[in-house]
Chain A
Amino acid sequence: MLLRHTSTEIKERSALTVNPAKTCQPIGAMYAALGVHGCLPHSHGSQGCYAYHRSALTRHFKEPVVAATSAFTEGASVFGGQANLVQAIDNIFSVYNPDVIAVHTTCLSETIGDDVPQIFAKAMADGKVPDGKFLFHANTPSYVGSHVTGFASTTKAMVDYFAESNGRKAKTINLIPGYVEPSDMAEIRRIAESMGIATIMFPDTSKVLNGPLTGKYKMFPEGGVTIDELKKSGSSTGTIALGRIASMPAARALDAKCKVPCEILGLPIGLHGTDAFVDTLRRMAGVSVPDGLNLERGQLVDSISDWHQYLYGKRVAIVGDPDQVLALTRFLVSLDMRPVHIVTGSPAGKKYIKSLQAAVAEVPEAVNIKVPGDMYLFHQWIKNDPVDLIIGNTYAKYIAKDEDIPLVRHGFPIYDRLGHSYFSTMGYRGGLRLMEKLLDAILDCKDRDADDITMELVM
């Protein structure tokens, strides 16, 4: 038993996180920045940070991940990182020639008090930023929030730095997809475009972190939102932010800066989540829902009815990022399943906890919720009160193996399976895929455990 060290006795831990269900802000910042076309994320800190982030993202996406670093030394840590960052900006534009550099801070540069805007001003004054090239930054100290807030802050920084309003409104709708997979971003855009809506989506990591094999190494792949699009986002008709934790700050900032009205929704996971998204798109853009989308919806409803007998009453433990966990919980409850242990690693606030409690209000038994918690506590809950299914990232597989419970991988990171970057779990089609995964896990387990007498062919 790999996790034999997990005890069943639950103690309040204040000084200690064991087996985290989150990581630090800068990796979220890096992921968001990769969703800008021609952008080189830059870690203003020591060399290890960005090496770890690049490795973690590489393991998750199986794609090259580039970023640069200020490569702090002891000297920089005493005298400040200005010289390093100015030199870095100079070096990056002369060697790698990106369109834009997205700087994020780290615990180190935040604590020594580096002022990034002031350093940018110095770099520009010194002529280190060529014409037509851009810089932007987000403050992402690792001791605040989590990878999700790092993502949210960097997405907001795209608005702060680039969104402009010329007073005229274009017909475009801004989509802020949240901390989701490249496949999800592509699906969210597809749904909007199938309704005939022109969109600006940011960030957009599709075709960046799920690109094709071309026989060439491209430092800056094809995908990503362009700076021009980001500028135009200030003139859009409206913004739809998916996931309150990851996307609301950017949407609100755009409303405040350019008077683009926004709607904050949950992630479009499952029937209700997608209905809310499609309905908001329809209203905001003044279009009607096309037959194709209605068909997809109908197919999802049909499949739920076909298979609900294997799902209802099943007890589930979910661990993950706040926006995902909330949307998944709502979907499971709508399938008459019972999420009974729910943990997010990221701090998400009281309002979030209330939403989660409301989502499970109809579950006919007590539900454990911990925001923020860790995977150790999650495991303890499962040990004390076993479930039929676990939903979580790759690290949950240890729990699944030790407790012999089927696992559906969802979230970040997934280091050990294919699929997440190519097959979306968002929208009606994504709902079908999620259902398929839930059923595969549950029914494979049922088949495995069936004895010769009760083994069934038809399900």
Chain B
Amino acid sequence: MSSIPILEARQAQIHQKGTQPFEMDCGKHSLAGSVSQRACVFCGSRVVLYPIADALHLIHGPIGCAAYTWDIRGALSSGPELHRMSFSTDLREKDVIFGGEKKLAAALGELIDQYRPKAAFVYATCIVGIIGDDVAAVCRKVEQEKGIPVLPVHSEGFKGTKKDGYKAACDALFKLVGTGSTADIAPVSINILGEFNIGGEAWIIKKYYEQMGVQVVSIMTGDGRVDQVARSHGAALNVVQCSGALTFLAEMMKAKYGTPYMRVSYFGIDDMAKALYDVAEHFNAAPEVMARTRAIVRREVETIMPELNRIKCDLYGKRAAIYVGGAFKAFSLIKALRYLGMTVVLVGSQTGNESDYATLQDMCDDGTVILDDANPLELSKYIIEKKADLFIGGVKERPIAFKMGIGFCDHNHERKIPLAGFEGMLHFAREVHNSVTSPVWQFAPARAAVLESKKEVAR
């Protein structure tokens, strides 16, 4: 199914529904020489832990790892802003030869004295894994001296994929869990896991739960605080969102504290409502929670419906391509786009697993291209071939969409407005609408022809 050269080893990572038996060969390390859109272990750890705003985040390595992750993700804090600074041991050649442990200890000491953070996360980068600095030992020593938790994050970039970085972050978080007081935690209480408060999304979700009468003990990690994490084991339920970044932590908490968990998504009306209903159902011993939930869903849906209906008229029949990090988000996006009357013609993820792709296969229409770990050539080829009007992706995908003259919606770090929750669905619809129907595309030569032919058909 291909006119561009595709490596034999990648053939099994590209499928078109309905044309061949479907067995996605996913979860593999990217091929050397690939122009994959993926990142590394460190990246995974950094995105998970970074929103904890009253912790110190020290990156032990050469300057790049700190520079590229300095405040690039709009994870909002309602209080401290310490997480938006960039701290690095800035390892130099001398340190690589003689070891960076002394430098790390000195840097940690200096920072903890100055900022008095509630805890410190120390991220190990590639080089630290190679030169063999004992980051854990340094952390233990500083922890004793300074009397705050100092947590090593084993995030050496080469030691796996971004998912392994999630796991390393969860390991670090898990060391904090159980160290705080669980006083004043109600029986109807949850932790919100896997919500990073991009554009203030965690605040929207938290508001819903609180209106339901559910106490939110902690959000991990959006607008996060060390004390919240420390007492999160007191919550009755873990509600884990999306990509599964925090699923590792939920598993560990289940094993150690017996905290049950459920997976939810906050994108789109259906999934958002389902998340609230599922949580209400979990607490069915308190029936008033379900009653309130129904009222909230009704109220919120009624609020957004009139405008959504207007937007749907314009978007009906438009085609969308989705390429996101975690497959779980793709599920929600397919539903949300369908709700808007759009057709999904391509869907792919960086880190989906077999069961994710099986679900995608079930959800998608015949002819939909399904990709694992795609490169820009593949993405652009299928977007043109499938005549997509919209591309949903992250920072590296945006200019690709624009070069081809189609609309784009960032559903990753760089979304500036909340896309989660009921109001988020409205924002999403507006953004998709504004981008897809932008007058600028008439100036894109290739797209102009497509738009013209569509008009003809409409006539």
* Contact surface of A with B, Cβ cutoff 8 Å: 2-5, 7, 11, 13-20, 22-24, 26-27, 40, 42, 45-49, 51-56, 58-59, 62-74, 76-77, 83-85, 87-92, 94-97, 106-108, 111-112, 141-144, 146, 211, 213-219, 376, 395
A22 and B63 form a contact (CB under 8 A): yes
Q: How distant is A94 from chain B, measured CB to nearest CB, in Å?
A: 6
**Distance, CA A83 to CA B445, complexed state (A):** 43
Residue of A nearest to B87 (CB): A18
Residue of B158, B376, B403 ringed by the most chain A CB atoms within 10 A: B158
On whether A70 and B130 interact (CB within 8 A), knowing A48-B43, A63-B399, A142-B63, the answer reads no
Query: How many residue pairs between the two chains, A and B, have CB atoms under 8 Å in the bound complex?
Result: 257
Across-interface contacts of B72 in A (CB, < 8 A): 55, 59
Across-interface contacts of B161 in A (CB, < 8 A): 47
**Distance, CA A64 to CA B400, complexed state (A):** 6
Across-interface contacts of A72 in B (CB, < 8 A): 126, 157-158
B67 and A58 form a contact (CB under 8 A): no
A49 and B376 form a contact (CB under 8 A): no
Q: How distant is A325 from chain B, measured CB to nearest CB, in Å?
A: 18
Residue of A68, A83, A395 ringed by the most chain B CB atoms within 10 A: A68
B403's partner among A5, A67, A214 (CB-CB below 8 A) is A214
B448 CB-CB contact with A under 8 Å: yes
* Contact surface of B with A, Cβ cutoff 8 Å: 5-7, 29-43, 61-72, 81-82, 84-93, 95-96, 102-104, 106-107, 110-111, 114-115, 125-127, 129-131, 157-161, 376-377, 380, 384, 395-396, 398-400, 402-405, 443-448
A71's partner among B32, B88, B104, B111 (CB-CB below 8 A) is B32
B43 and A141 form a contact (CB under 8 A): no
Q: How distant is A33 from chain B, measured CB to nearest CB, in Å?
A: 14
B40 and A48 form a contact (CB under 8 A): yes
B35 and A106 form a contact (CB under 8 A): no
Across-interface contacts of B103 in A (CB, < 8 A): 15
On whether A54 and B377 interact (CB within 8 A), knowing A7-B114, A20-B86, the answer reads no
Q: How distant is A71 from chain B, measured CB to nearest CB, in Å?
A: 5
Residue of A nearest to B413 (CB): A55
A91 and B405 form a contact (CB under 8 A): no
Selected A-B contacts with CB under 8 Å, 8 pairs: A13-B110, A16-B106, A40-B35, A48-B41, A52-B39, A69-B33, A213-B402, A395-B70
A64's partner among B34, B68, B399 (CB-CB below 8 A) is B399
Known A142-B127, A216-B384; 13 more pairs at CB < 8 Å? A24-B67, A46-B126, A55-B68, A63-B399, A63-B403, A73-B29, A76-B158, A91-B7, A111-B96, A111-B130, A143-B95, A217-B380, A376-B85
Q: How distant is A16 from chain B, measured CB to nearest CB, in Å?
A: 4
**Distance, CA A211 to CA B403, complexed state (A):** 9
A143 and B62 form a contact (CB under 8 A): yes
**Distance, CA A13 to CA B106, complexed state (A):** 9
**Distance, CA A214 to CA B115, complexed state (A):** 50
**Distance, CA A65 to CA B89, complexed state (A):** 29
Across-interface contacts of A67 in B (CB, < 8 A): 35
**Distance, CA A16 to CA B107, complexed state (A):** 5
B445 and A215 form a contact (CB under 8 A): yes
Across-interface contacts of A211 in B (CB, < 8 A): 403
Across-interface contacts of B126 in A (CB, < 8 A): 45-46, 72, 77, 106-108
B131 and A111 form a contact (CB under 8 A): yes
A215's partner among B37, B38, B66, B446 (CB-CB below 8 A) is B446
**Distance, CA A376 to CA B447, complexed state (A):** 47
**Distance, CA A354 to CA B86, complexed state (A):** 30
Across-interface contacts of B31 in A (CB, < 8 A): 71, 87, 91
B63's partner among A20, A68, A90, A218 (CB-CB below 8 A) is A20
Q: How distant is A53 from chain B, measured CB to nearest CB, in Å?
A: 8
Q: How distant is A28 from chain B, measured CB to nearest CB, in Å?
A: 10
Across-interface contacts of B104 in A (CB, < 8 A): 15
Q: How distant is B393 from chain A, measured CB to nearest CB, in Å?
A: 11
**Distance, CA A4 to CA B90, complexed state (A):** 23
**Distance, CA A204 to CA B446, complexed state (A):** 27
B36 and A69 form a contact (CB under 8 A): yes
B444's partner among A7, A141, A213, A218 (CB-CB below 8 A) is A213
